[in-house]
Amino acid sequence: MEVQILGSAQSAAKQNNALVIKTAEATARVWIYSPTVIRVSISKNTGVSDTSFAVIQKPEGSIDSKENSDHIEVTTSALKLSIQKSPLRFNFYTADGKELSQDDSRFGVNWQGTRVINYRKLYKDERFIGLGEKTGDLDRRGSSYTNWNSDVPDHNPKSDPLYETFPFFVGMHGGLTYGLFFDNTHKSYFDFGATTDHQMSWFGADAGDMNYYFFGAQNVADIIKDYTWLTGRMEMPPLWTLGYQQCRWSYMSAQEILDIAKTFRDHNIPADVMYCDIDYMDHYKIFTWNHETFPDPKSFIDKLKSMGFRLVTIVDPGIKVEPGYKQYDEGVAKNYFATYPNGEKFIGEVWPGRCHFPDFFRDDVRKWWGASFTALTEPGVEGFWNDMNEPAAWGQNIPWMVKFGNYYMPEIRNVYGMEMARATHEGTKKILGNKRPFVLTRAAYSGTQRYSAVWTGDNSAYDAHMLLGQRMVNSLGITGMSLVGVDIGGFSGDPTPELMVRWNSLGVYTPMFRNHAMQGTKMREPWRWGEANEKIIKKDIEQRYKLLPYLYSSFYQSHQTGLPVSRTLAINYTQDTMVYNPTYQNQFLFGDGLLVAPVISTEHTASVYLPKGEWYRISSGEHYEGGKAYTVDAPLNDLPVFAKGGAIVPMQNIIQNTNEKGDGILEVNVWYGKEASKFVYYEDDGSSYDYEHGTYHKREISFDPANKRIKFGVISGLLTSKYTKIKLVLHQFQSNISGNVRTVSVNGEIKALSGDVVMFDNTNSAITVAYH
């Protein structure tokens, strides 16, 4: 395959809202989406179709550019794109002229056959983070990756590709940051200086256009905000999905699930969700129930509900070829399945045997699929687990000539899972009316956060997988996915009791907290590990429930800004090289105020790096000066978790599931800090869409050490909080301010401090707490 060059600009003209540049070989178009987001699309095709599965924004109406003999300059208030005419190259700068990212001056964009590649200049100190669910290190410099959604049951900490495609990364060098989203759904490749002469990084795809969005905000959080502005943000999750989730392939009968649910209640271990994996179905036929083992789905789910549990059921895309089976008959009659070019339906084998695959790229098929969920919603299912949607088929390959909508398989394999999740989300949302559905998908593409949560697929029960899982959760957070889980305990293999305990304690700080295991493995429920371990697991799950007000508010932040709940330290401490050190790269912030350091199960001490600032171990209150590494105790019952100085963490009492009201006391924990801080507290009914119409309860809580004040701002929203009292807990204030804190006043009224705690009514008006 010869290399075909992009050539030199022969003409440049504004057309509608784009700048169109033509070379003898290709056409390049530039659009401004916002002052910090510029799109470049280079194509050899004429009459380029301009569809995107990911992007939900439109470009701005005009483009500001000027041209001289060598260059065309496109400017916004934040960015300058300098386009060199000969040969055609695209070079990005900040508005004040700092170089952010350039084409490699020699090679830029070129083609080999249908393959399109962009070679870019690699900076000496450049680091890369992103690409979502990928193995390897936090800093992806020196690594290369492929995006080709695949079912990878035996993956290891180096395997690639995996199940999901997020072709978005952040580059950092010389104190500067930029982001790049390559919106091309073909099999794609990213090489962060792995295989070149240290002068280039490159990315490309098997076919399609060199179509990318360049982000120029000067910090990672703002780049994530821009990326999720462009590709969408998550809805508020149902509150129950943030509780503890118990899954297994498979609980084999309704009775077994009820027994497990009851055991949670008997042992007073909080839990919210039970799952049905594939064996609840009749011969794995989607939208059916096995009537022998699940004879009366409605009364089964009613019983679960009466114990405070929700049920999530699995659905796979493969529809069994079996005349007389409703979904098969309907799909055949309406031609809803993927076909060969001659119109014959494609058949691949999955759990049910020979299957057809719904064409989720068609509107009518998505509607049909979505409406079929009544078979599950009528008896009371509220969560829909979309699996095997890479799509998986035994033997993996699906012939390239298989057609989905107007596309052939190679073009849309990476989006199939997302479109299935979309069909599921849209369909169940319609059926459930004002109730929020929960969708969980294994395969995904950029934008999936609009429809679904994801988990990281079939991991294994060993320590390195636990750490890898955490890095993947953190990395998915960079690419817009906040509601993310891993199979706690490891899907395949049997964890040691120590690993189970440790992984569960990390699960407390995983956005979606789900224990799941493969058939044939040891049972995994909390009481299977001996009394002493059960006690630790229970205490940790209780901690999760106590954190729910904080966690829910953190999800509100994801919903509003795209910032994830689990944040690699690279988001807040981008320029601190220690956060990329392999020893510390798994650490993350959980919400604004807590730092979690994962520890393997065989170690009972941990090397922890605490970035600049002040930190307190939450279990002991011990103070640590940031900007240093420490060796800290990490026994199995005490995962190292630190509160940032000034952290504001609203908590509640222990409840057994999220239907319980609790004691009505919101426990607002503040850790002393030298700097002012704030936290947006958010609450809504946790289940409906009324929050979209103003029914929520939101206020800013701020801490001002200079004036010795903690303020609860006025409420916005129409909802009255479910907490009638606020219990304010001041951590480490005594030792940090001169003289002891002995009294506080709440709106001017002096109150005695009992220990570090003061209690007052949760009123809708502003509340000022002054400590003396």
- Label the pairing between strands 109-112 and 115-121: antiparallel
CA 183 – CA 609 distance, rounded (Å):
36
From the list 458, 487, 614, 683, the catalytic residue is 458
Figure out which of the listed residues 139, 164, 387, 540 binds ligand GLC, where binding follows CB under 6 A: 387
As a dihedral over the C-alpha atoms of residue 640, residue 464, residue 481, residue 381, rounded to 10 degrees, the angle is: -90
The DSSP code for 579 is G
Nearest residue (CB) to ligand GLC, 153 versus 694? 153
For residue 625, give Cα distances in angstroms to 436, 491, 608.
Answer: 43, 38, 12
Nearest residue (CB) to ligand GLC, 458 versus 592? 458
Nearest residue (CB) to ligand GLC, 216 versus 383? 383
Tokens 């169109």 — which residue?
20
From the list 151, 226, 387, 525, the catalytic residue is 387
State how far Cα 319 lies from the chain centre. Answer: 29
In the complex, minimum distance from the CB of residue 252 to ligand GLC, in angstroms, rounded to a whole number:
13
Secondary structure (H, E, C), 491-523: CECCCCHHHHHHHHHHHCCCCCEEECCCCCCCC
- Label the pairing between strands 164-165 and 444-445: parallel
In the complex, minimum distance from the CB of residue 249 to ligand GLC, in angstroms, rounded to a whole number:
3
Are 485 and 453 a contacting pair, CB within 8 Å?
yes
Strand (E) or helix (H) holding 453? strand 453-455
Are 649 and 669 a contacting pair, CB within 8 Å?
yes
In the complex, minimum distance from the CB of residue 158 to ligand GLC, in angstroms, rounded to a whole number:
19
Nearest residue (CB) to ligand GLC, 387 versus 540? 387
CA 383 – CA 438 distance, rounded (Å):
4
User: Among residue numbers 153 through 182, which ones bind ligand GLC (CB under 6 A)?
Assistant: 153
The DSSP code for 765 is S
Q: Mark whether 387 is an active-site residue.
A: yes
Nearest residue (CB) to ligand GLC, 226 versus 458? 458
In the complex, minimum distance from the CB of residue 457 to ligand GLC, in angstroms, rounded to a whole number:
5
User: Among residue numbers 254 through 283, which ones bind ligand GLC (CB under 6 A)?
Assistant: 277-278
Nearest residue (CB) to ligand GLC, 159 versus 196? 159
CA 391 – CA 377 distance, rounded (Å):
24
CA 398 – CA 321 distance, rounded (Å):
17
Nearest residue (CB) to ligand GLC, 443 versus 570? 443
- The residue among 754, 680, 734, 742 whose CA lies nearest residue 712 is 680
Kindly state whether residue 249 participates in binding ligand GLC, applying the rule CB under 6 A: yes
Helix axes 497-507, 463-478, angle to 10 degrees: 10
Nearest residue (CB) to ligand GLC, 436 versus 442? 442
Q: Binding string to ligand GLC for residues 428 to 447, with x set by CB under 6 A, is what?
A: --------------x-----
Total residues interacting with ligand GLC, rule: CB under 6 A:
10
Nearest residue (CB) to ligand GLC, 176 versus 286? 286
In the complex, minimum distance from the CB of residue 421 to ligand GLC, in angstroms, rounded to a whole number:
14
Kindly state whether residue 463 participates in binding ligand GLC, applying the rule CB under 6 A: no
DSSP reduced 3-state for 470: helix
Kindly state whether residue 551 participates in binding ligand GLC, applying the rule CB under 6 A: no
CA 335 – CA 345 distance, rounded (Å):
9
In the complex, minimum distance from the CB of residue 427 to ligand GLC, in angstroms, rounded to a whole number:
21
- Label the pairing between strands 244-246 and 273-276: parallel
User: Among residue numbers 339 through 358, which ones bind ligand GLC (CB under 6 A)?
Assistant: none
Q: Mark whether 154 is an active-site residue.
A: no
Task: Enumerate the H helices of 288-384 as residue ranges.
Answer: 297-306, 326-334, 363-371, 374-377
Nearest residue (CB) to ligand GLC, 181 versus 455? 455
Are 643 and 731 a contacting pair, CB within 8 Å?
yes
Figure out which of the listed residues 162, 314, 418, 466 binds ligand GLC, where binding follows CB under 6 A: 314
CA 525 – CA 527 distance, rounded (Å):
6
Neighbours of 259 (CB within 10 A): 11
User: Among residue numbers 679 through 698, which ones bind ligand GLC (CB under 6 A)?
Assistant: none
From the list 126, 151, 390, 592, the catalytic residue is 390
- The residue among 319, 334, 488 whose CA lies nearest residue 391 is 319
> Partners of 648 in the beta sheet?
670
Nearest residue (CB) to ligand GLC, 340 versus 394? 394
In the complex, minimum distance from the CB of residue 345 to ligand GLC, in angstroms, rounded to a whole number:
24
Angle at alpha carbon of residue 192, lines to 187 and 198, rounded to 5°: 135
Are 41 and 33 a contacting pair, CB within 8 Å?
no
Q: Binding string to ligand GLC for residues 513 to 542, with x set by CB under 6 A, is what?
A: ---x--------------------------
- The residue among 586, 569, 566 whose CA lies nearest residue 577 is 569
In the complex, minimum distance from the CB of residue 438 to ligand GLC, in angstroms, rounded to a whole number:
16
Q: Round the CA-based radius of gyration of the chain to a whole number and report it.
A: 27
- Label the pairing between strands 99-102 and 743-746: unpaired
User: Among residue numbers 118 through 157, which ones bind ligand GLC (CB under 6 A)?
Assistant: 153
Q: Which two tokens stand for residue 332?
A: 């055949």
Figure out which of the listed residues 410, 457, 489, 645 binds ligand GLC, where binding follows CB under 6 A: 457
In the complex, minimum distance from the CB of residue 351 to ligand GLC, in angstroms, rounded to a whole number:
7
In the complex, minimum distance from the CB of residue 522 to ligand GLC, in angstroms, rounded to a whole number:
15
Per the omega criterion (within 30 degrees of 0), is the bond before 391 cis? yes
Angle at alpha carbon of residue 515, lines to 513 and 517, rounded to 5°: 150
The residues, ordered by sequence, that sit 6+ positions from 652 with a Cβ below 8 Å of its Cβ are 545, 546, 548, 549, 662, 663, 665, 666, 667, 723
Kindly state whether residue 458 participates in binding ligand GLC, applying the rule CB under 6 A: yes
Per the omega criterion (within 30 degrees of 0), is the bond before 250 cis? yes
Nearest residue (CB) to ligand GLC, 107 versus 416? 416
In the complex, minimum distance from the CB of residue 297 to ligand GLC, in angstroms, rounded to a whole number:
18
Nearest residue (CB) to ligand GLC, 362 versus 516? 516
Kindly state whether residue 72 participates in binding ligand GLC, applying the rule CB under 6 A: no
In the complex, minimum distance from the CB of residue 403 to ligand GLC, in angstroms, rounded to a whole number:
26
Residue nearest to ligand GLC as judged by C-beta position:
249
In the complex, minimum distance from the CB of residue 286 to ligand GLC, in angstroms, rounded to a whole number:
12
Q: Mark whether 137 is an active-site residue.
A: no
User: Where does this chain bind ligand GLC (CB under 6 A)?
Assistant: 153, 249, 277-278, 314, 387, 442, 457-458, 516
**Residue positions annotated with a catalytic role:** 387, 390, 458
